[in-house]
């Protein structure tokens, strides 16, 4: 089974100068070890095996594995060195070889990970002259796409894509071995995060559609997420609808939790365009904290500036086709604009104080405005 689903609630970590994202949970590792134990037990029965761990990476796996192995067994280690940084190197050094006679014994190698199979080649060389009864290979993680050898792998815990991983015994330049779960190297090491700002009808959504393509960013519109939930009649949707129909803001706590979840869904993003968020001081602070957690930041707030009467006309026009109840009623529209000035516009100060506020004239053709926004983004 190949696990691609990153787990939630834990964050991106930094080892040396490199970022890694959550990949395999401690629970998933434990389940894989349980399966390995039962498979090996089923094959070996009452025979007393010698489990040979391959240091350094396998120490945690061996420890957890043998604790779960319910029958008598022996445990020993060999030490090989193959990794320099993130590349699997051809050159394997034998640092500690076998220290006991294994003649006639059934040996099960316990490897943390098998990728190219170079280390395995060296293991087979070590055992060539030992008259063992059987040599079996068990590995917790396996990268089938990287595997270049023909040696049989008898027991495989979790198959993973050919990407560098760290944690649960595996290191990145000596760091990360102590992590109880596994992390995968992040595609994107640096992010561009933009807040697209402006009153309702300023054209944030329209512009975000162009900018996300141009700059390869993930567009998160909290209004769209709410509408999606309303359409699907989720609990969140039902709650949000009562506020949205009046043109009022959905409570911060609900909105912030939802935004966090949307960001977490895109752990590999190059960056985000936040559209319709933040709308309050509390949301702005929550967004800063979230970016901080990802070891990133908001690079700019870009505001589309449009006069109120133009906004009202645009929204009424959009209401004819958008199907949005909050676009159809002039009173609701005016209330949304008022809410913007009363509650949201203060965020201009919040971002100005950090020297991140950029105002852009939001009246003109779509292309003209995209060009104005691009000028700001390119200058960041
Ligand atoms: P929008 O599509 O951005 O115009 O949002 C439509 C409606 O969704 C707003 O009038 C609010 O009721 C609600 N909403 C969207 N984003 C937020 C937010 N960040 N905080 C609170 N309510 C929001």
| Cα→Cα distances 44→49, 74, 101, 102, Å | 8, 13, 20, 16
The minimum-distance atom of ligand 1 relative to the CA of 226 is: 8
**Residues known to be catalytic:** 204, 279, 318, 324, 336
**How far apart, in whole angstroms, are the C-alpha atoms of residue 10 and residue 287?**
17
Rounded average pLDDT over 47-52 = 97
Pairing of strands 300-305, 194-197: parallel
Mean predicted lDDT score pLDDT of the chain: 92
Q: What is the pTM of this model?
A: 0.65
How close is the Cα of 249 to the center of ligand 1, in Å? 6
How close is the Cα of 326 to the center of ligand 1, in Å? 10
The minimum-distance atom of ligand 1 relative to the CA of 247 is: 10
Determine if ligand 1 sits within 6 Å of the CB of residue 250. Answer: yes
Determine if ligand 1 sits within 6 Å of the CB of residue 296. Answer: no
pLDDT(377) > 60: yes
Q: What percent of the chain has pLDDT over 90?
A: 82
pLDDT(5) > 70: no
How close is the Cα of 248 to the center of ligand 1, in Å? 8
How close is the Cα of 340 to the center of ligand 1, in Å? 10
Whether omega before 94 lies within 30 degrees of 0, making that bond cis, reads no
Q: Which of 255, 276, 306 to mutate to test the pocket of ligand 1 (most atoms within 8 A of CB)?
A: 276
Determine if ligand 1 sits within 6 Å of the CB of residue 276. Answer: yes
pLDDT confidence bin for 224, thresholds 50/70/90: very high
Determine if ligand 1 sits within 6 Å of the CB of residue 344. Answer: no
What does the block give as tokens for 70? Answer: 């319910």
Residue where the block lists tokens 């939930």:
229
**Closest of 346, 361, 352 to residue 305, by C-alpha:** 361
Residue 221's contacts (CB-CB under 8 Å, 6 or more residues apart) are 204, 205, 208, 275, 276
pLDDT of residue 90: 56
The residue among 186 and 242 whose pLDDT is bigger is 242
Rounded average pLDDT over 138-142 = 98
The minimum-distance atom of ligand 1 relative to the CA of 244 is: 12
The minimum-distance atom of ligand 1 relative to the CA of 248 is: 12
Q: Are 377 and 297 in contact (CB under 8 A)?
A: no
Whether omega before 278 lies within 30 degrees of 0, making that bond cis, reads yes
Nearest CA to ligand 1 atom 5: 223
pLDDT of residue 8: 44
Pairing of strands 87-96, 74-84: antiparallel
**How far apart, in whole angstroms, are the C-alpha atoms of residue 81 and residue 55?**
8
pLDDT, one tens digit per residue, over 60-119 is: 999 999 999 999 999 999 998 765 555 555 567 777 888 889 999 999 999 999 999 999
**Closest of 86, 4, 21 to residue 268, by C-alpha:** 21
**How far apart, in whole angstroms, are the C-alpha atoms of residue 25 and residue 120?**
26
Please tell me the least confidently modeled range out of 7-21, 53-67, 126-140, 301-315: 7-21
How close is the Cα of 335 to the center of ligand 1, in Å? 12
């Amino acid at each position: 089974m190949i696990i691609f689903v990153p787990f939630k609630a834990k964050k991106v970590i930094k080892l040396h100068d490199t970022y890694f994202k959550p990949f395999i949970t401690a629970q998933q590792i434990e389940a894989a070890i349980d399966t390995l134990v039962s498979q090996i037990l089923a094959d070996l029965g009452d025979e007393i095996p010698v489990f040979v761990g391959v240091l350094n990476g396998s120490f945690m796996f061996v420890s957890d594995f043998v604790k779960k192995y319910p029958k008598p067994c022996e445990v020993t280690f060999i030490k090989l060195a193959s990794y320099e940084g993130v590349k699997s190197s051809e050159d394997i050094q034998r640092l500690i070889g076998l220290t006991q006679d294994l003649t006639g014994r059934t040996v099960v190698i316990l490897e943390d990970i098998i990728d190219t199979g170079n280390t395995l080649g060296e293991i087979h060389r070590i055992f060539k002259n030992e008259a063992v009864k059987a040599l079996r290979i068990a590995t917790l993680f396996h990268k089938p796409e990287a595997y270049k050898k023909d040696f049989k792998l008898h027991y495989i815990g979790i198959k993973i894509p050919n990407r560098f991983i760290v944690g649960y015994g595996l290191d990145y330049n000596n760091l990360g071995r102590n992590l109880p779960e596994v992390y995968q190297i992040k595609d994107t090491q640096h992010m561009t995060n933009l807040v697209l700002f402006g009153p309702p009808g300023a054209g944030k959504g329209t512009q975000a559609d162009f900018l996300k393509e141009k700059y390869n960013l993930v567009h998160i519109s909290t209004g769209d997420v709410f509408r999606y939930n309303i359409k699907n009649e989720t609990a969140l949707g039902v709650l949000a609808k009562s506020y949205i129909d009046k043109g009022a803001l959905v409570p911060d706590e609900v909105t912030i939790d939802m935004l966090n979840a949307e960001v977490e869904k895109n752990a590999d993003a190059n960056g985000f365009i936040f559209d319709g968020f933040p709308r309050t001081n509390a949301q702005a602070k929550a967004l800063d904290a979230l970016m901080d957690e990802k070891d990133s930041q908001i690079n700019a707030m870009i505001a589309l500036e449009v006069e109120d009467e133009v906004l009202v006309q645009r929204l009424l026009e959009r209401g004819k086709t958008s199907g949005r109840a909050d676009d159809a009623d002039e009173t609701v529209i005016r209330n949304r604009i008022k809410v913007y000035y009363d509650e949201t516009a203060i965020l201009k100060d919040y971002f100005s104080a950090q020297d991140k506020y950029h105002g852009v004239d939001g009246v003109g053709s779509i292309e003209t405005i995209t060009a104005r926004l691009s000028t700001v983004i390119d200058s960041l």
